[in-house]
Amino acid sequence: MNLGPPKLDRAAYHGLPGRVVTSLAPHVEADEAALLLHFLPMFGNAAGAGLHIKQGAPQPARLNVVLVGDAAFARKGTAGNAIEGLMAYADPDWHKHRILRGAQSAEAIIAEVDDERARDRRLLIFEHEFGRLLRVLQQQANLSDVLKLAYDGGPLQILTKDLAGRRTATRSHISVVGHVTIDILGARLSDTEIASGFGNRFLYGLVARSKVLDRSEGVPEEHLEALGDDIADALEFATDLAFSEVDPISAFLFDYFGMQPHVELERTEAFWELWAELYRGPLNRPLPGVVGHVLERASTHVVRLAVCYALCDRSKVVDREHLEAAYAVWRYCAASARRIFGGITDSRAVDMILHAFHRVGRPITGTEVTAVFNRKKSAKELEAILGQMVASGLVTHHQESTKGRPKDIYTLVPEGLEAWGEESPS
């Protein structure tokens, strides 16, 4: 059974995002999904919060994405660097001033977008060590609340130590991009954060190295320039459209305070036809366990992705093709989430061990199993988990003699794993 990344449907390659991916992919070792899942939230943040469609509340192209893969070989950083290079060309001011590399606290986030000081309410939090953010989350309860409200577009408030009173951000546009390994995500994203709605405000993409380029010279400059110009044009379109329906004085005030007017995009009948099919079907299909909690916000993610694709097309109308592309991305992320959060055996702990087998590609020792859980599970708990896996036919166990205590060796049984089946959410 393949525990690696799922297959990305071709519909996700629509328009400008598709051109970005196919132009960069031959020149980097990152896979195409990693490039796409960096580009969409970065573009969506740079485009601002003004343009939206309503699904309950206004839904702009505001996305939170966590890329999950091996620390050394998934090439998450390679993909991020490639997309950042494009965004730096397309919108150098946004790239220079609106990326926060690591969130130390809720106060630090609000300070970047607060009503008193900020002249730009856009902010992309780039967490190259998403596990660090999850650790901070455990120490600072208000950080989770602020990030959830930021995703929802709600007003952010917090008491400050250096100012008398509260620091407030009423019209922020905050996105998060994170990098993490499966083991760290499983160990640090608590069941409480999943159940509380923090976990389902993120899209999760399982990514891997796509190729080995021993003589790569990077992305050709002409590709960067051509794509950068296209991205700049799309961002300019979004800004112009957002300001096109307000009078000059209001436009000046919005610009002065770093905000965009709210403008609802139109939707075609073809969009509505497909939306009805998806909304009555796969986007509201309940799933059991942890993965069900993680995928609860499906319709919101898909709507926001569709807005992003429409803006990349410089369209004030969201059409069926934009929704098809959005749903393709969602299917990839849903399949990734199933593999990450317990969709193989419905046991999160067992799945983490199975992913360890997939990562190392050989039998693993009892000590390595302990490390999967950052040594936070007791010997009794590990004995029960591994005993369940042996009894279920997923692994075999034997001991090797050493100069000291015998070494426990566990070997994956492919036939036992296949018996579980693997069905991606649709």
The mean pLDDT value for 63-70 works out to: 94
The mean pLDDT value for 75-97 works out to: 93
The mean pLDDT value for 207-230 works out to: 83
* Beta-strand relationship, 395-400 and 407-412: antiparallel
State phi, psi for 406 to the nearest 5 degrees.
-60, 150
Give CATH for domain 10-340: 3.40.50
CB atoms near residue 115 (< 10 Å): 18
pLDDT score, position 161: 61
Q: Which of 218, 226, 221, 236 is nearest to 91 (CA)?
A: 236
State phi, psi for 254 to the nearest 5 degrees.
-60, -45
State yes or no: pLDDT of 80 exceeds 60: yes
pLDDT score, position 422: 40
State yes or no: pLDDT of 425 exceeds 50: no
Q: Identify the residue with better confidence: 185 or 322.
A: 322
Q: Which of 375, 367, 342 is nearest to 187 (CA)?
A: 375
CATH architecture assigned to 348-418: Orthogonal Bundle (1.10)
pLDDT-above-70 percentage for the chain:
92
pLDDT confidence band for 421 (50 / 70 / 90): very low
State the amino acid at position 340 in one-letter form: I
Mean pLDDT of the residues in the chain: 88
What are the angstrom distances between the C-alpha of 150 and each of 15, 123, 247, 259, 332?
28, 10, 28, 15, 24
Read off the DSSP letter of residue 323: H
Per mean pLDDT, which range of 56-70, 216-230, 323-337 is the poorest?
216-230
pLDDT score, position 183: 83
pLDDT confidence band for 423 (50 / 70 / 90): very low
How far is it, in rounded angstroms, from Cα 207 to Cα 205? 6
Question: CATH 3.40.50 in the chain, residues?
Answer: 10-340
pLDDT score, position 160: 62
Residue for token digits 């993409």? Answer: 205
State yes or no: pLDDT of 240 exceeds 60: yes
Question: CATH 1.10.10.10 in the chain, residues?
Answer: 348-418
